[in-house]
């Protein structure tokens, strides 16, 4: 059972995911100024201007038991690198979603994301005994879609016209991806572990 009141810390020798708190604002705000991070985010999250709200909203959603945000600490660089979170937990169906993930520019392509996803999948399937972890992305966000596939997620479908298009002309689809408990234990855990 996922407990929103528990202070979960997920870590290995490369990364530590710790519950997001107000004090992380100071250490993460440097990356919030990188505008490209927020290209595909909806709501109050567009860089430095609304970053304080982004942090407080995420913490409030945890209190409401809707989302569980983490601050990501890169042990190799000894710096906070970004954020991620679990959300849409449904205990009766034994499913959860993972998303709202972002990293400062200097951490992208370094293997940090693979380590984070490994720890989050391991937690979901091995501690919570869930059946699936769902992920999604704006169809125009090719980098994120490729990153999700590289950690073992399978493309499952699309939600048509889910988002405004990035150029503000028309609408764009959402791409749905996921990984199942059986896939994790049979192949994907070992494949991802070997990529760390």
Domain limits of the chain?
10-195
- Phi, psi of 169, deg, nearest 5: -110, 110
Joined tokens for residue 124: 């979901």
Please, which pLDDT band fits residue 165 given cuts at 50, 70 and 90? confident
Give dist(CA 71, CA 35) in Å, integer.
19
Please, which pLDDT band fits residue 43 given cuts at 50, 70 and 90? low
In words, the CATH class of domain 10-195 is alpha beta
- Residue 132's pLDDT is 98
**Cβ distance 148 to 178 under 8 Å?**
no
Average pLDDT, the chain: 94
Please, which pLDDT band fits residue 143 given cuts at 50, 70 and 90? very high
Residues of the chain above pLDDT 70, percent: 96
pTM of the model: 0.95
Distance from chain centroid for Cα 142? 16
Please, which pLDDT band fits residue 28 given cuts at 50, 70 and 90? very high
pLDDT at 176 over 60: yes
pLDDT at 11 over 60: yes
Please, which pLDDT band fits residue 44 given cuts at 50, 70 and 90? low
Other C-beta atoms within 10 Å of 95: how many? Answer: 17
- Residue 177's pLDDT is 98
User: What residues form DSSP beta bridges with 114?
Assistant: none
pLDDT at 89 over 60: yes
- Residue 117's pLDDT is 98
Please, which pLDDT band fits residue 168 given cuts at 50, 70 and 90? confident
Give dist(CA 20, CA 138) in Å, integer.
24
């Amino acid at each position: 059972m996922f407990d929103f009141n528990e202070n979960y810390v997920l870590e290995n020798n490369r990364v530590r995911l710790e519950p997001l708190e107000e004090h992380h604002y100071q250490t993460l705000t440097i990356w919030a100024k990188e505008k490209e991070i927020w290209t595909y985010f909806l709501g109050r999250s567009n860089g430095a201007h609304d970053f304080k709200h982004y942090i407080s909203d995420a913490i409030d959603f945890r209190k409401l038991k809707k989302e569980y945000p983490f601050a990501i600490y890169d042990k190799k660089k000894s710096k906070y690198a970004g954020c991620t979170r679990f959300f849409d937990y449904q205990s009766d169906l034994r499913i959860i979603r993972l998303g709202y993930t972002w990293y400062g520019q200097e951490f992208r392509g370094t293997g940090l994301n693979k380590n984070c996803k490994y720890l989050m999948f391991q937690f979901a399937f091995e501690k919570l005994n869930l059946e699936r972890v769902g992920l999604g992305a704006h169809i125009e966000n090719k980098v994120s879609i490729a990153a999700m596939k590289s950690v073992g997620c399978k493309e499952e479908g699309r939600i048509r016209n889910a988002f405004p298009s990035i150029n503000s002309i028309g609408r764009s689809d959402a791409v749905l991806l996921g990984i199942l408990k059986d896939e994790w234990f049979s192949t994907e855990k070992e494949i991802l572990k070997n990529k760390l």
